[in-house]
Structure 1
Amino acid sequence: MPFIAAFIGYVTKLAAVEMMFRPLEFVGIKPFLGWQGIVPRGVERIASIAIDLLMGRILNPQEIIDRIDVDDMMVKLADPMREMVEDLTVAVFEETRPGLWDVTPPPVKTLLLDRVTDSVPAVVERMLREMREKVDDVIDIRALAINAMTRDKALTVRLFRTTGKKELRFICNVGIPFGFAIGVVQVFAYAATHSPWVLPVFGALTGLITDWLALQMIFRPAKPKRILGYTWQGVFHKRRAEVTRDYAHIVAAEILTPENMLEAMLTGPKSDQFLFLVEREVDRAVDDQAGFAKPVVKLVGGFQYQGVKRKVAAMVIERIKTRGVELSGLAGGTVDLPSFLEEKMVTMTNEEYEDLLRPAFKQDEWKIIVVGAVLGFLVGELQLHLVLGA
């Protein structure tokens, strides 16, 4: 009986852990007959809790922007920027005076392209400086992060499974010794009563008690404490350095990515402000070049010149969108976001740190415990029929 109880302890924990994360979508007949993993089902709530913690205590968009090395960024973006400038220049000429670029002498083309390309760093620097001053006006980091986690439930599951991998394994493994100990008590209870209810009832108790104890031992105590002569600290708190590193890496590599940030600036709730900023800087850049290109201005006329500026701005935005992954990937290397997040997370209190993983458990802990009890009861009933032939 103790060995079967140990088996019950392990299996009920394993089932409870898997039911937290699987399946990603509801399987069964809605609304009651079926199951969806606890984390995927509550992904919006869990994402909001996790991101609000990051935004409130760790993640300041201003600090991220301030850490961008503009000089390094311009070196990395030099080649793709030149390609974009050449593409845009040719497109503007063809749009306003078809065939004019083809007949322009090569030295003039080179001079014009060099002049425009040389102006790009100043334009980008002006934009970055203004973004530093008004970062909250051009990007909603909270909406970006929550959207990334809710639209990709597998990402949210991976975040919690990766950072809590050893805690989840602990939940399963601790069911074995606890289950065995309860099984020993079960032997004496059955010997004293010979009641067929002893096995399923103890099976339910094994599932319930071991689930509850395992969850408590993950998070309690937060600091090392002597218990019955043994120093114990909650598994999650004991692994703080490792968890912090894993969490920061996933957030930086899969949530707060340069691609996601650029997408948020282009299509997010504050995209109008960012696009206005781009259009204004492009407008200014075109005006700066107009003095050099007076013949072109005369050719197209003042009214049409304003139309050209609008078209150039639209072209710039379109090319940022189409080459966004490439540009943001290159720019992303200018900020060591994982290290930055890790540094900030070190300053969290124990309660704040615990909330990195606890949202996946807290509201639905009772469900995990109840599932463990039900599974334990069923296995105990099976034990009754197989072992005792009842």
Structure 2
Amino acid sequence: AHSASQLPSIDCCAAPARGLERHEEKFAKDSRMPPRRAAAGGSKVAPITPLRPRGSSCVIARRGSLPGAGAKARGEPRKTWINWEIWRPALMAIIVLGTTYASAFFEYWNGESHTAPSLHSALCFGSIPIVAAVIGYGTNVAALVMMFYPLEFKGYFPWLKIGCGLDLPLFGWQGVIPMKGRQMAEISVDLMTKKLVKVEEIFSRMSPERVAREVSGLLPDILSDVLEESGRSNCPKLWEHLPTAAHRMFEEKAIGEAETMMARCVADMQRNINDVFDLKACAVESLVANPQILNDIFLVCGADEFDFIRTSGFYLGFIFGILQMLVWLFCRQWWILPSCGIIVGYYTNVIALKVIFYPVEPRSICCGCFKFQGLFLKRQKGVSALYGEQIAEALLTPEVLLNALVQGPKREQMRKLVFRQVGRCMEEQSAHYKPFFLMSNGAENWADFREGVCKGFWERMPRLLAGMKDYMWEAIELQATLQTRLEGLPPREFERLLHAVFEQDEIKLVLVGALLGAIVGMLQAMAQTPEQLGLPPLF
């Protein structure tokens, strides 16, 4: 068998970039995607109207400095008579100012000061809910970033890890999702292949005859080279002394039947696709080799939810801070501040995650006047479009799928299929000259010649497959298929699509928030009660 390492490969890593370049050229000419070409036989194929230019979501996700960047362009706009984008920060500012002003009287009410309002009282008490809000916001943002970045381990001694089932590095960090890339990729692909699309369906949508026509321009040169190489290698004397007309006859005969042979190869591949192609291995290896793709799926599909986690941290942190301020009014022990920091960092993440994914099914309250559902579930239609686009544009691209046929774990079965079809075609074409060949060179040389042609054709398969990727993109309609089926999933199955992938690692996100909250709370204690910690006062 020919070694896979000797085969030229299709550059699947550059596929999304090339797809984006192609689209940008088209998009500059027309604001809409051009209609798809007609299928085989002249039948009309309805165009697919994308939600956005191909590849745009990947670029947005990669350029965003924090999870959730550019979320306003995602999902469906909410129709409401109150513009909360304006009123929410305005109301929050009023509450913050009111709380700070009220805190300026606390020392006077507590008999610690004879003047009111007092700047010292406002700094001592009014800063507590503000710091708590900053803790809630900052820990949520930091925890989200630490979920995705860095893509590779940064630090020392990566084998030294925290136990207790956390599996976190002790002297460094790697994003939780890249760290668990293979496991998460396997879970994600299992859910996708079981619920959304089968490999047989993907490849069955291509017409063998249309594929043959797409690569027909490449076949003459390839077959000429293959025949020449095999002839000079396996029967050099005969090949050298054959007249030019005989050479030309062999080539013309082979080229004349080339499209038929290629169509047979594709049809045979479609019938035996599970034997020659492993969709799970293809997708998982692509995600492991390019961890940013898995990050992009989360960052793009969950952009609105990440915005909610970030902003809710501020609001919830401020509410917790008001309670902390009231406790501090009656009990001023240094340990209260870091303890409250832990509570704020922990529960702001817990509450945000619960609100995003629960309840799964819509629930009514107040006799049906109000309905509430997990934020992610409410955006099922918008998320479905984004998820389908991400998978089709960045993960299961034609380049990746076709490359897996000749470089994947089942490439040996694909090689045998190609050898079988090429050998069959040679036997059919050689009926009139095979007896002469056997008499002059023997059966063994004929077998070697046929084997050489098959081997040469197999070595050039990546080049042929690359010539059909544009047609494959049109034919399989992967983005539209995924979007339609995601929209039709029951809420409980839809919730599993992304939540199940990182559900087991949610505790890490929460604990990171609690740890960061404890650190900020300790700094606050050093500023508020330095004498209890044996430190000189700051003011």
For normalisation by structure 1, the TM-score amounts to 0.90
Given the alignment of the two structures, is residue 236 of structure 1 paired with residue 376 of structure 2, yes or no? yes
Alignment CA distance shift 1:144-1:219 (3 Å) = same
Give the structure with higher Rg (CA): 2
What letter corresponds to residue 397 of structure 2 in structure 1?
T
Q: Separation in 1 of the partners of 2:256 and 2:485?
A: 38
Given the alignment of the two structures, is residue 346 of structure 1 paired with residue 487 of structure 2, yes or no? yes
Render the CA deviation track for 1:285-332: whole Å, top value 9, x for unaligned.
1112213545666554432111101111111111114x2662352452
Determine if contact 2:275/2:410 at 8 Å carries over to the other structure: yes
Determine if contact 2:211/2:468 at 8 Å carries over to the other structure: no
Given the alignment of the two structures, is residue 75 of structure 1 paired with residue 209 of structure 2, yes or no? no
Q: Counterparts of 1:166-181 in structure 2 under 5 Å? A: 166-181=304-319
What letter corresponds to residue 84 of structure 1 in structure 2?
I
Q: Separation in 2 of the partners of 1:388 and 1:81?
A: 81
What letter corresponds to residue 351 of structure 1 in structure 2?
R
Render the CA deviation track for 1:260-280: whole Å, top value 9, x for unaligned.
333333233322221111111
Given the alignment of the two structures, is residue 312 of structure 1 paired with residue 453 of structure 2, yes or no? yes
Q: Counterparts of 1:83-102 in structure 2 under 5 Å? A: 83-95=221-233, 96-97=235-236, 100=239
Render the CA deviation track for 1:328-370: whole Å, top value 9, x for unaligned.
5245233222122223323322222222211343111112112
Alignment CA distance shift 1:260-1:102 (3 Å) = farther
Determine if contact 1:290/1:297 at 8 Å carries over to the other structure: no
Q: Separation in 2 of the partners of 1:305 and 1:245?
A: 55
> What is the DSSP-based 3-state SS (H/G/I as helix, E as strand, rest coil) of the residue aligned with 2:257?
helix
Q: Counterparts of 1:107-146 in structure 2 under 5 Å? A: 112-146=250-284
Which residue matches 1:376?
Answer: 517
Q: Separation in 2 of the partners of 1:125 and 1:343?
A: 30
For normalisation by structure 2, the TM-score amounts to 0.66
What letter corresponds to residue 31 of structure 1 in structure 2?
L
User: 1:113: how far off?
Assistant: 3.4
Which residue matches 1:326?
Answer: 466
Query: Structure 1: 5+ residue runs without aligned partners?
Result: none
User: 1:181: how far off?
Assistant: 1.1
Determine if contact 1:262/1:328 at 8 Å carries over to the other structure: no
Determine if contact 2:208/2:264 at 8 Å carries over to the other structure: no
Given the alignment of the two structures, is residue 49 of structure 1 paired with residue 49 of structure 2, yes or no? no
User: 1:198: how far off?
Assistant: 2.7
Q: Separation in 2 of the partners of 1:6 and 1:365?
A: 22
Identity of aligned residues (%): 28
Given the alignment of the two structures, is residue 203 of structure 1 paired with residue 341 of structure 2, yes or no? yes
Alignment CA distance shift 1:388-1:69 (3 Å) = farther
> Relative to structure 2, which stretch is displaced further, 367-376 or 94-103?
94-103
Alignment CA distance shift 1:154-1:279 (3 Å) = same
Which residue matches 2:141?
Answer: 14
Q: Pick the aligned partner of 1:361 from 489, 502, 507.
A: 502
Q: Pick the aligned partner of 2:291 from 143, 153, 161.
A: 153
Q: Pick the aligned partner of 2:150 from 13, 23, 27.
A: 23
User: 1:241: how far off?
Assistant: 2.0
Q: Separation in 2 of the partners of 1:344 and 1:131?
A: 26
> Relative to structure 2, which stretch is displaced further, 367-376 or 263-272?
263-272
Using CA pairs below 8 Å that are at least 6 residues apart, which structure has the higher relative contact order? Answer: 1
Q: Separation in 2 of the partners of 1:199 and 1:227?
A: 37
Alignment CA distance shift 1:189-1:80 (3 Å) = same
> What is the DSSP-based 3-state SS (H/G/I as helix, E as strand, rest coil) of the residue aligned with 1:194?
coil
Q: Pick the aligned partner of 1:184 from 319, 322, 325.
A: 322
Determine if contact 1:200/1:377 at 8 Å carries over to the other structure: yes
Determine if contact 2:135/2:517 at 8 Å carries over to the other structure: yes
Q: Separation in 2 of the partners of 1:111 and 1:328?
A: 28
Determine if contact 1:9/1:179 at 8 Å carries over to the other structure: yes
User: 1:102: how far off?
Assistant: 9.6
Aligned residues: 388
Query: Structure 2: 5+ residue runs without aligned partners?
Result: 1-127, 162-169, 532-539
Q: Counterparts of 1:277-316 in structure 2 under 5 Å? A: 277-294=417-434, 299-316=440-457
Q: Separation in 2 of the partners of 1:135 and 1:293?
A: 35
What letter corresponds to residue 267 of structure 1 in structure 2?
Q
Q: Separation in 1 of the partners of 2:173 and 2:335?
A: 29
Alignment CA distance shift 1:100-1:305 (3 Å) = closer
Q: Separation in 2 of the partners of 1:101 and 1:241?
A: 66
Determine if contact 1:73/1:330 at 8 Å carries over to the other structure: no
Q: Pick the aligned partner of 1:249 from 363, 385, 389.
A: 389
The root-mean-square deviation of aligned C-alpha atoms, in Å, is 2.6
User: 1:114: how far off?
Assistant: 3.8
> Relative to structure 2, which stretch is displaced further, 154-163 or 312-321?
154-163
User: 1:109: how far off?
Assistant: 5.5
Q: Separation in 2 of the partners of 1:102 and 1:76?
A: 35
> Relative to structure 2, which stretch is displaced further, 208-217 or 88-97?
88-97
Determine if contact 1:77/1:331 at 8 Å carries over to the other structure: no
> What is the DSSP-based 3-state SS (H/G/I as helix, E as strand, rest coil) of the residue aligned with 2:299?
helix
User: 1:372: how far off?
Assistant: 1.1
Q: Separation in 2 of the partners of 1:91 and 1:280?
A: 19
> What is the DSSP-based 3-state SS (H/G/I as helix, E as strand, rest coil) of the residue aligned with 1:355?
helix
User: 1:91: how far off?
Assistant: 2.5
Determine if contact 1:262/1:324 at 8 Å carries over to the other structure: no
> What is the DSSP-based 3-state SS (H/G/I as helix, E as strand, rest coil) of the residue aligned with 1:78?
coil
